């Protein structure tokens, strides 16, 4: 049996006990040599880091034969094809790098992850991310019922091969990346956690993606932590923050300021891990060196940020209570649909009890909308069939509807807001310090 490289959850907890925020890139390369160089650079960064192997789009959509042909042709894939490469190749990528002092997580975006999980286990990797909803509705046309079945089987494979070291990070707090009100993000993150727990996973991380208001975000993460403590007791559990996933600032100064705010959000809410983005996110795929610079920048901001937040702050407390009530209502409504969480999630989307704004997947009712109010807070424009009170619905325009012009303004809100920061031109890749 392949030796396990590390206990991902334990590493993050130990770092948090020392007062360190764990920072992580979203890094994946098709070439094994470059993938190894990226992991080595991440490990050597001046920060407390974990490694990432992000998979290519063919592998994540189940097109393993296409990925194999691409590898044989020497194509430059947009991620690491872990199912295609021989286990010895992946073993060489990880040798001397992955271990107790440097866990590596497999990130993929697949609604059919069984082969991916099996390949990761053959390489000794026991940490991954995803969930039956969050890796289906945004990324796949696969029926949600099929995704639930696939993720049930994937959990059996992972727990069977890794035991207590099996770690899964829900992606539920990142639905579509932007313009999803925090109450729904928190609800899906917790519901996916409950699904994973029901299928034997005992080490979990719950995600939340930075949105458009620092005060609302802080309240949302505090609400997520509170619900997790209530509904997922006794697990090895931590919270992970994602840097903003929508339209990114085009200036390096704006991008760094946005990531600094993400690091501050993590520290002030007691989150233990942060997924970073880089200063060139809006222009091109970042180099290894630019990923390392982003990791070190986020870690430096975290070290000088005071936290956790003062929970008596009136605005933050209002947001926390609002998100807690909204998410709790949605979670309860789903769990009332049956004892099996996966089946309940399918019924919830069938009946519109859960409804993701602007998500075009056939399983989604597409009756809900959202918008940004004058303070940059995410609000409901319409809640469809979700069991939320009328008081949750704002009035985005004279007609009460979200117009296409307003939607476009909202989508670019963070880019426009942060690009006001003065900055230098984006450096060319060859000018960024080498990390190979």
> Quick one: pLDDT at residue 247?
87
Residue 431 in this model has a pLDDT that exceeds 80: no
Binned at pLDDT 50, 70 and 90, residue 316 comes out as confident
> Quick one: pLDDT at residue 401?
73
> Quick one: pLDDT at residue 60?
94
Residue 183 in this model has a pLDDT that exceeds 90: yes
Half-sphere exposure in the Cβ direction for 176 (13 Å, CA): 18
pLDDT of 372-381, one tens digit each? 999 999 999 9
Hey, CA dihedral for 236, 191, 138, 209, is it positive or negative? negative
Hey, is 205 helix, strand or coil? strand
Residue 182 in this model has a pLDDT that exceeds 80: yes
Homologous superfamily of 1-424:
Methylmalonyl-CoA mutase (3.20.20.240)
Residues sharing a CB contact under 8 Å with residue 238, sequence separation 6 or more, in sequence order: 9, 12, 13, 16, 204, 205, 206, 271, 272, 273
> Quick one: pLDDT at residue 71?
94
In angstroms, the CA 224 to CA 247 distance is 25
Question: Token pair for residue 104?
Answer: 């590596």
Query: pLDDT averaged over the chain?
Result: 91
Residue 423 in this model has a pLDDT that exceeds 80: no
Cis peptide bond prior to 308, omega within 30° of 0: yes
Report yes or no on whether pTM surpasses 0.85: yes
> Quick one: pLDDT at residue 290?
94
Domain residue ranges of the chain, discontinuous segments joined by +: 1-424
Half-sphere exposure in the Cβ direction for 131 (13 Å, CA): 31
The percent of residues in the chain predicted with pLDDT above 70, rounded, is 93
In angstroms, the CA 128 to CA 55 distance is 11
Question: Token pair for residue 374?
Answer: 């004058």
> Quick one: pLDDT at residue 336?
98
> Quick one: pLDDT at residue 308?
64
The H-or-E segment that residue 238 falls in is strand 236-242
> Quick one: pLDDT at residue 435?
35
Q: Mean pLDDT across the stretch 219-247?
A: 96
> Quick one: pLDDT at residue 2?
60
Q: Mean pLDDT across the stretch 364-379?
A: 94
20-24, 46-50, 388-392: lowest mean pLDDT where? 388-392
pLDDT of 152-163, one tens digit each? 999 999 999 999
In angstroms, the CA 55 to CA 28 distance is 6
> Quick one: pLDDT at residue 279?
87
Q: Mean pLDDT across the stretch 287-303?
A: 96
Hey, is 204 helix, strand or coil? strand
According to DSSP, the residues that pair with 379 across neighbouring strands are 371
pLDDT of 77-88, one tens digit each? 999 999 999 999
Residue 15 in this model has a pLDDT that exceeds 90: yes
CB contact at 8 A, 236 and 13: yes
Q: Mean pLDDT across the stretch 388-413?
A: 78
In angstroms, the CA 290 to CA 278 distance is 6
Residue 214 in this model has a pLDDT that exceeds 50: yes
According to DSSP, the residues that pair with 383 across neighbouring strands are 368
Q: Mean pLDDT across the stretch 68-77?
A: 94
Nearest of 334, 60, 323, 352 to residue 198 by alpha carbon: 334
């Amino acid at each position: 049996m392949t030796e396990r490289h590390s206990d991902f959850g334990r590493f993050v907890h130990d770092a948090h006990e020392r007062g360190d925020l764990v920072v992580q890139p979203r890094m994946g390369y098709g070439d094994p040599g470059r993938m190894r160089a990226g992991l080595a650079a991440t490990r050597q960064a001046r920060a407390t880091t974990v490694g990432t192997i992000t998979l290519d789009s063919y592998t994540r959509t189940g097109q393993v034969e296409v990925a194999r042909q691409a590898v044989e042709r020497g194509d430059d894939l947009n991620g690491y094809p872990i199912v295609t490469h021989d286990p010895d190749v992946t073993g060489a990528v990880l040798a001397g790098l992955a271990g107790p002092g440097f866990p590596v997580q497999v990130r993929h975006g697949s609604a059919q992850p069984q082969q991916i999980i099996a390949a990761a286990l053959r390489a000794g990797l026991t940490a991954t991310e995803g969930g039956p909803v969050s890796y289906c509705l945004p990324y796949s046309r696969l029926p949600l019922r099929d995704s639930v079945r696939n993720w049930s089987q994937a959990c059996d494979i992972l727990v069977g091969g890794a035991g207590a070291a099996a770690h899964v990070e829900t992606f539920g707090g990142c639905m579509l990346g932007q313009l999803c009100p925090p109450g729904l993000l928190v609800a899906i993150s917790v519901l996916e956690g409950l699904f994973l727990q029901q299928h034997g996973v005992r080490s979990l991380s719950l995600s939340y993606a930075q949105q458009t208001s620092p005060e609302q975000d802080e309240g949302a993460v505090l609400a997520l932590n509170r619900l997790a403590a209530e509904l997922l007791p006794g697990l090895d559990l931590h919270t992970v923050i994602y840097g903003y996933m929508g339209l990114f600032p085009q200036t390096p100064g704006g991008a760094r300021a946005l990531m600094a705010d993400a690091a501050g959000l993590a520290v002030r809410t007691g989150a233990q891990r942060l997924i970073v983005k880089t200063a060139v996110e809006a222009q091109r795929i970042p180099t290894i060196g630019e990923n390392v610079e982003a990791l070190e920048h986020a870690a430096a901001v975290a070290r000088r940020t005071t936290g956790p937040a003062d929970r008596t702050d009136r605005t933050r407390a209002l947001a926390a209570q609002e998100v807690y009530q909204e998410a709790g209502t949605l979670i309860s409504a789903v769990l009332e649909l049956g004892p099996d969480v996966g089946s309940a999630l399918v019924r919830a989307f069938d009946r519109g009890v859960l409804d993701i704004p602007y998500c075009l997947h056939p399983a989604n009712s597409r009756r809900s909308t959202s918008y940004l109010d004058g303070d940059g807070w995410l609000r409901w424009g319409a809640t469809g069939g979700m069991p939320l009170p009328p008081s949750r619905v704002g009035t985005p325009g004279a007609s009460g509807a979200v117009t296409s012009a307003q939607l476009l303004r909202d989508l670019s809100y963070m880019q426009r807001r942060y690009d006001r920061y003065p900055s230098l031109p984006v450096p060319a890749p060859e000018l960024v310090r080498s990390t190979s």
